[in-house]
């Protein structure tokens, strides 16, 4: 029987994490067993105690400082592989899963040996849509957050297919994706052993996009699999439009572009970043400065 290690991070998000674990407790498991690894670096140690009290069977890994998304997941991945996982599921703790999502992802990977990792269709959780006022009440819970990832290399933009669209079946085709989503991805052990885990210098944002490029260069395929689905409380851990997003997305987009983009795009990024130093807000400017200074990982962000 195959083994799947499920990785969750908890950072001051107890209610979301408990909701996620509750939904995971109901998943179907045929042909595989699971073990859940919760990497907890919340400021209040009582959150760890509460998680363990309600879900005593999980493996809880307590850390005293904010590791960031990349390193936090890497800690969980290492523990899962040590346990003997054949597959690792990266899952945001601010998600709610359908009962058969993992069964479907597992069967798909099992049948498609050239695919290294797969992500499901991801909806906004009800009430967490970007523009929830524009949808009919009956559409809430059916608004797409991720239906595959695309990269616009000319403008250095990584975006989700279908975002903000109500699902009418228009994204029901299985397809190769430019990047899998760190929000929910089932990954083969062999891929992690070959290309390594997430890049910790990125700390937060673009780590899944970077990892995806390494996987594709190693010859594996990445797939979007819409027959499986979950719901995401978008930016439950970081806040939509926050200073945190301004800083890390600005800095890491520049890093990603200068590593992977064509030279013409790199030149355009240089020009754009100089304008940002003049016209943008404080944390966007700081993101630009820290990229050029090589101040990566947590950089100048100290949890403000």
Closest CA to 216 of 195, 202, 198: 195
pLDDT at 211: 99
Give φ, ψ of 206 to 5 degrees.
75, 0
pLDDT for residue 99 is more than 70: yes
Indicate whether 93 and 222 sit together in one domain: yes
Is residue 45 very low, low, confident or very high in pLDDT (cuts 50, 70, 90)? confident
Q: Is residue 78 part of a domain?
A: yes
Cα 224 from Cα 119, distance rounded (Å):
5
Residue 46 resides in a domain: yes
Number of structural domains (the chain) is 2
204-241 pLDDT, tens digit per residue, is 999 999 999 999 999 999 999 999 999 999 864 455 56
Question: Which value, to the nearest 10 degrees, does the dihedral of the CA atoms of residues 276, 131, 150, 301 take?
Answer: 40
3-state class percentages of the chain: helix first, strand second, coil last, to nearest 5:
40, 25, 35
Pairing of strands 149-152, 175-176: unpaired
Q: What is the pLDDT of residue 234?
A: 84
d(Cα 257, Cα 260) in Å, to the nearest integer? 5
* Number of Cβ within a 10 Å radius of residue 163: 16
Instruction: Provide the whole-model pTM.
Output: 0.95
178 and 267 co-located in one domain: no
Q: Please answer whether residues 99 and 28 qualify as being in contact, where contact means their C-beta atoms are separated by less than 8 angstroms.
A: yes
Q: Is residue 39 part of a domain?
A: yes
pLDDT, tens digit, for every residue of 149-178? 999 999 999 999 999 999 999 999 999 999
> 3-state DSSP call for residue 209?
helix
Nearest CA to 60 out of 9, 16, 26, 94 is that of: 9
The verdict on 221 and 178 lying in the same domain is yes
The CATH number of residue 92's host domain is: 3.90.550.60
**At 44, is the pLDDT very low, low, confident or very high (cuts 50, 70, 90)?**
confident
pLDDT digits (tens, 9 = 90+) for 241-264: 689 999 999 999 999 999 999 999
Contact 179, 70 (CB under 8 A): no
Q: Which tokens is 200 given?
A: 């910790």
Q: What are phi and psi of 229, to 5 degrees?
A: -150, 155
DSSP state of 72: H
Chosen domain end from 213, 232, 251: 232
Closest among 122, 104, 130 to 227, alpha carbons compared:
104
| 242 or 1, greater pLDDT | 1
Q: Give pLDDT, residue 303.
A: 64
Tokens of 160: 């989700």
Model pLDDT, residue 304: 47
**Residues 248 and 288: beta-carbon distance below 8 Å:** no
152 domain-assigned: yes
The C-alpha atoms of residue 219 and residue 66 are separated, in whole angstroms, by 33
Residue 280 belongs to domain spanning: 243-293
pLDDT of residue 235: 65
Q: Is residue 29 part of a domain?
A: yes
143 and 286 in a single domain? The answer is: no
- Residue 240 to residue 185: CA distance in whole angstroms: 22
Say if residue 160 is in the same domain as residue 218. Answer: yes
Distance CA 93, CA 298 (A): 21
Mean pLDDT of 31-45: 95
30 and 104 together in one domain: yes
């Amino acid at each position: 029987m195959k083994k799947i290690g499920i990785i969750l991070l908890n950072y001051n998000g107890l209610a979301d994490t408990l909701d996620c674990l509750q939904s995971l407790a109901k998943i179907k498991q045929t042909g595989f067993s699971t073990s859940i690894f919760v990497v907890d670096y919340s400021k209040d140690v009582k959150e760890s105690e509460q998680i363990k009290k309600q879900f005593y069977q999980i493996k809880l890994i307590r850390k005293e400082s904010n590791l960031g998304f990349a390193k936090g997941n890497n800690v969980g991945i290492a523990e899962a592989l040590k346990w003997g996982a054949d597959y690792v599921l990266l899952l945001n703790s601010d998600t709610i899963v359908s009962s058969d999502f993992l069964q479907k992802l597992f069967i798909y990977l099992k049948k498609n040996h050239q695919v290294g990792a797969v992500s499901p269709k991801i909806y906004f959780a009800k009430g967490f849509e970007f523009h929830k006022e524009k949808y009919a009440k009956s559409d809430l819970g059916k608004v797409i957050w991720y239906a595959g990832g695309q990269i616009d290399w000319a403008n250095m933009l990584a975006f989700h297919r279908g975002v903000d669209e109500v699902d009418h079946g228009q994204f029901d085709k299985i397809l190769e994706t430019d990047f899998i989503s760190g929000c929910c991805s089932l990954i083969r052990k062999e891929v992690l052993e070959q290309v390594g885990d997430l890049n910790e210098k990125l700390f937060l944002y673009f780590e899944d996009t970077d990892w995806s490029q390494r996987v594709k260069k190693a010859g594996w395929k990445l797939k979007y699999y819409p027959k499986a689905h979950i719901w995401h409380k978008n930016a439950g851990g970081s806040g939509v439009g926050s200073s945190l997003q301004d800083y890390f997305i600005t800095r890491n987009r520049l890093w990603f572009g200068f590593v992977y983009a064509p030279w013409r795009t790199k030149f355009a990024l240089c020009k754009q970043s100089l304008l940002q130093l003049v016209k943008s807000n404080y944390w966007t400017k700081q993101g630009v400065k820290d990229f050029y200074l090589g101040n990566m990982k947590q950089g100048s962000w100290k949890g403000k």
